């Protein structure tokens, strides 16, 4: 217990760092689940694909890292758009299960393709300039450049998305479709354009998450699964409170995981996460930030 108490502040700091990744992938999932009313099981795989794209551009094609990120993020967005147009949109209206099954199949196919192209082993980004040296240290809390970039990206993207959804015409259109698809359609909002746009934005965010994840933990073709699960949990916890809810739920999930690992050990880390989710959803079925009857009222 003495070791745990001593390490508690550092565990919370670690939780915030990993929670920033969770929060962003949760935002990406929430954007899609609220607008299109579907659970996208490809979120994590798209994120990892974005990271591999960045790796391919930087390490194999020789582009500078900043250029690679600039190219890989919109490319991941386009990839998401292609999935939406060619898989989700045609299948979504046929049955509830068809998009889920298609997403599962695609997830396996993406992992297989990544394994074929880049090999099954873990790869790491060449970091130029190095991102791991520390920038600050207080007791057991030690922050690297990458940690700072990660948290700043989280704050920036969350704020931008919040601003976009509440202050711009396109964002308000997106909210309208999420709120009431039929009513927004009768008001002249082009539903399909909103779907495509939300998929592009959500997949671009997933691309950023993948790159940050790859820089922090290395890349493996199967790494997307864990991210998808976390995204799913956060979307459930965030309920209808959208951007803010997903951000807070992501950070909370990261902190719970980290503190529980510090206290109880790493072996059953995923079990703690799901146990916490189960208890929270049992108490608040609409999610931590949900409203009682409107499950998917706002983004």
Partner 1 sequence: MSSINKFTFVSLSLVLAVVFIFSDCSRKSSESKRIQVGAILFETGEAKSYGIKSKRGYDLALKWAKSRDLSLIPDILYADSGADESKGVAEFKRLTEVERIRFIVGITGSGVAMAICPLLREKDVLVLEALDSAAKLTDCAPNFFRIYPSDVIQGSFLADWALELGWKRAGLVYIHNAWGEGMQEGVENGFTSKGGQILVKEGIQQNLTDFSSIIVKVRAAELDGLFLLIYPTGARRWLEQSTARGLVITTLGGDALTGTEVAQAGEASNGLMFSAPHPGEGREYEQFVEQYMKEFGENPDVYATKSYDAMRLALVALNELQSDKPQAIKRFLLAMDTFEGAAGPIRFDENGDLVEARYARYIYENGEAILVQQNTEE
In the complex, least distance from residue 143 CB atom to partner 1, rounded to whole angstroms: 9
Q: How far apart are CA 9 and CA 130, in angstroms?
A: 26
Question: Could you give the angle at the alpha carbon of 66 between the alpha carbons of 65 and 67, nearest 5°?
Answer: 90
Beta carbon nearer to partner 1, 105 or 265: 265
Residue (171 or 250) nearer to partner 1, CB? 250
Shortest distance in whole angstroms from residue 260 CB to partner 1: 9
Of 74 and 222, the one with the shorter C-beta distance to partner 1 is 222
Please say which residue, 87 or 143, places its beta carbon nearer to partner 1.
Answer: 143
Main-chain dihedrals φ then ψ at residue 253, nearest 5 degrees: -60, -45
Q: Are 52 and 118 in contact (CB under 8 A)?
A: yes
What are the start-end ranges of the H helices in 37-139? 43-55, 65-83, 89-92, 97-118
- What is the binding site for partner 1 (CB under 8 A)? 3-4, 6-7, 10-11, 14, 17-18, 115, 120-122, 124, 132, 134, 137, 140, 142, 144, 146, 216-218, 222-223, 226, 257-258, 261-262, 265-267, 269-270
Contact by Cβ (8 Å): 145, 133:
yes
| Distance, CA of 36 to CA of 34 (rounded, Å) | 6
| Nearer to partner 1 (CB atom), residue 267 or residue 293 | 267
Min dist CB 100 to partner 1, Å, is: 24
Residue with tokens 């704020």: 159
C-beta of 168 vs 271, nearer to partner 1: 271
* Closest-CA residue to 262 (of 1, 47, 53): 1
Q: How many whole angstroms separate alpha carbon 213 and alpha carbon 48?
A: 8
CA–CA separation, 146 and 153 (whole Å): 10
Shortest CB 210 distance to partner 1, Å = 13
* CB of 74 vs partner 1, minimal distance in Å: 26
Q: How far is the CB of 57 from partner 1 (least distance, A)?
A: 21
């Amino acid at each position: 217990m003495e070791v745990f108490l001593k390490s508690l502040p550092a565990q919370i700091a670690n939780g915030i760092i990993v929670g920033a990744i969770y929060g962003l992938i949760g935002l990406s999932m929430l954007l899609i689940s609220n607008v299109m009313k579907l659970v996208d099981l490809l979120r994590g795989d798209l994120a990892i694909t974005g990271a591999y794209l960045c790796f391919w551009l930087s390490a194999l094609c020789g582009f500078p890292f900043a250029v690679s990120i600039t190219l890989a993020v919109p490319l991941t967005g386009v990839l998401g758009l292609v999935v939406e147009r060619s898989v989700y949109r045609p299948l979504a209206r046929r049955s509830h299960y068809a998009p889920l099954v298609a997403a599962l199949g695609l997830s396996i196919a993406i992992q297989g393709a990544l394994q074929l192209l880049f090999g099954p082993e873990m790869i790491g980004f060449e970091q130029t300039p190095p991102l791991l040296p520390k920038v600050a240290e207080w007791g057991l809390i030690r922050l690297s450049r990458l940690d700072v970039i990660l948290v700043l990206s989280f704050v920036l993207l969350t704020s931008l998305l919040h601003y976009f959804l509440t202050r711009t015409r396109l964002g308000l259109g997106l909210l309208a479709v999420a709120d009431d698809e039929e009513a927004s359609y009768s008001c002249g909002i082009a539903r399909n354009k909103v779907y495509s746009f939300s998929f592009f934005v959500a997949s671009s965010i997933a691309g950023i998450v993948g790159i940050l994840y790859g820089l922090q933990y290395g890349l493996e073709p199967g790494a997307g699964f864990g991210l998808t699960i976390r995204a799913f949990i956060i979307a459930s916890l965030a309920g209808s409170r959208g951007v803010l809810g997903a951000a807070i739920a992501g950070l909370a999930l990261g902190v719970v995981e980290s503190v529980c690992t510090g206290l109880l050990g790493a072996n059953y880390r995923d079990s703690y996460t799901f146990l916490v989710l189960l208890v929270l959803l049992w108490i608040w079925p609409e999610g931590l930030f949900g409203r009682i009857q409107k499950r998917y009222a706002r983004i």
